[in-house]
Amino acid sequence: MGDEVQARLEGLRAQLDHHNHCYHVLDAPEIADAEYDALFDELIALEAAHPEHITQDSPSRRVGAAPLAEFAAVTHEVAMLSLEKTATPEELNDWANRCRTRLGDEIMAFCCEPKIDGVAVALIYEHGRLAQAATRGDGRTGEDITANVRTIPAVPLRLRGDGVPTRFEVRGEVYIARRDFAAFNERAQQRGERTLVNPRNGAAGSLRQLDPKLTASRPLTIYCYSLGWVEGDWRPQTQMEALEWLAAWGLRTNPEATLVADLDACQDYIDDIAQRRGSLAYDIDGVVVKVNALDQQQRLGAVTRKPRWAVAYKYPAQEATTQVLGVEFQVGRTGAITPVAKLQPVFVGGVTVSNATLHNMDEVARLDLRIGDRVMVRRAGDVIPQVASVITEQRPADAPTIELPESCPACASPVVRPEGEAVARCSAAPTRCPAQRKEGLRHFASRLAMDIEGLGEKLIDQLVENGLVRTPADLYRLRDKNLSELPRMGEKSAHNLLDALQASKSTTLARFIYALGIHEVGEATAQSLANHFGGLDALCAATPEVLEVVPDVGPIVAEKVTAYFDDPDNRAVVEELVKAGVAWPAIEAAADSLPLAGQTWVLTGALKRMSRNEAKEKLTGLGAKVAGSVSGKTAQVVAGPGAGSKLAKAEQLAVPVMDEAGFMDFLSIHNAL
């Protein structure tokens, strides 16, 4: 009897896997829905009667497992990099030329496919079975969403066919098709339930549901677009070959993926997809172009957080016209006063837009914007909507002008506009302005900073408004008693937040520096500072001259970093955070050992073998600071054809000069090519 049950279960699972593949991957169903449902119901009944025979790759697992308490962190074995962006044929040609330079003018073919506006995920298969699924996260660390991804019908729980590697990672884009999005929202409206904002947000929110049953109720699907890594002997030669194998194993790949022979054909593909964009079944914001040969991809490598062998060609932003109803002024974490246009709601770029940033008062003046104006609003992907232009012909006769407020809308402190800056700012210190405090705390808790799960915008507002938190250090003084007094804060929620705060204490020096919110210090600069100094004490004591040696740090950034650590209030917060237990693994300061540490170089003229940005990256990687002007402290000038005043200044000051050939020899000697 047991063998018969086992055999029937295996037969049912094989049938359901086959029909699931036909329906969700091939879009070619072979049986009616009622017949599929009958097979599925039989499987559920048999597994309920014989739970000892349930397997993790059974189609029954797609209905969703038990709710999760939280998502576990997943470290990607190979980082999930972001793509360089281009928007014109000239920029695409520049990218291709950079590839040719590195490959020695080898012939390149390209693989092109639509850039779907969804959510990137990494799927790991072991012995042909789905073992793990993770979000991209910050590129190096994502979240374990295996239970949720198992509910997506287009993701095979067990691969089919022969030759499947023992263990490998495939990457794909989870999305909601336009038709499915509209149908889901229509059903939600009929039931009086909350609708999804747009397909991309719907996909992202669905993947991050703690209850997989909720994910299972959303119409998610996937297109797999590349390999991440492979264990075993199998090695495809090209991107297109890899896609063909993935499809043969039952993974859903985009039929629009096309191999093109040269850049002209690549541009033809981009133009063709642009014309058909509105008729595609899904939202896209461009085309991804990849060098097809995988050995060429490997030799091209990556720079910072982007592969050199792939590029995203972004289509022009989508636009719509609407009316400006008013302007509000928002206060950021650095005190910046940003005008925001309040709009008559309009649907553009896949969402309903009611606000658009105006950046600063210079932008308001450039647009000649007034309240009541008819405007063109532009949005692309996740970019914040912007007012692109004013239709002055439709301006009301009495349209009032927009004036910068004299006092901060959050704390009433005077608004100032520092000389030489376009941005007006609240003159109060962050500790004295509630808006700055809130934005600073949001930045501190954000994913790329301290990554404090559950510390969202509304909770930060409550903590600040109730006087419980003034600085980031105060977060680590919170206790159950403080939190339980807040509205809608239950015991479990309070406990979860305290656990998240405790977990966030274990971080990296780069994340900690970034979390402090120092003006002009982004994620990459924070990493450079961490790598250079190796510890917090050395960074705090650094002078502007020492800081300017660090890659990515110029005079302005050096001044901001010095000013931050010279401020007694800031130093006190940093010390309190360390006392609270925020810590990171020790790292060895590497900059002093680099061959060009402490030297300032200047690039001038045109370079034929690489772009100026690439040359700058090479030099900063060797420890040099690349300046924009020549002085007596300049160690070396690299002069290409067309060098002018900087070359003359170098000769006047007797600064050493090398041409491009000498520069390439220098980089070769230092293994920097």
DSSP bridge partners of 376:
321, 389
Question: 3-class DSSP state for residue 273?
Answer: helix
**For residue 350, what is the DSSP state?**
T
User: DSSP readout, 102-139?
Assistant: HHTS----EEEEEEESSEEEEEEEETTEEEEEEE-TTS
Q: CB neighbours of 567 closer than 8 A, spacing ≥ 6? A: none
Q: In which element (H, E) is residue 396 found?
A: none
Query: Which of 644, 660, 646, 663 shows the shortest CA–CA distance to 608?
Result: 660
Q: CB neighbours of 128 closer than 8 A, spacing ≥ 6? A: 158, 159, 164, 249
C-alpha atoms less than 13 angstroms from C-alpha of 613 in its C-beta half-sphere: 5
Q: What are the DSSP E strand ranges found in 489-624?
A: 600-604
Residue 535 CA: distances (Å) to CA of 302, 541, 568, 569: 27, 11, 19, 20
Q: CB neighbours of 117 closer than 8 A, spacing ≥ 6? A: 175, 199, 200, 282, 283, 284, 285, 350, 381
Which amino acid is it at 393? E
Beta-carbon neighbour count of residue 25 at 10 Å?
Answer: 19
Q: CB neighbours of 103 closer than 8 A, spacing ≥ 6? A: 296, 299, 300
Q: CB neighbours of 506 closer than 8 A, spacing ≥ 6? A: 583, 584
For 617, the token pair is 């990256």
Phi and psi at 557, nearest 5°, equal -65, -40
Q: In which element (H, E) is residue 378 found?
A: strand 374-379
| CA 284/CA 256 separation, integer angstroms | 12
In this structure, are residues 515 and 450 in contact, taking their beta carbons and an 8 Å threshold?
Answer: yes
Give me the active site residues, please: 115
Beta-carbon neighbour count of residue 195 at 10 Å?
Answer: 12
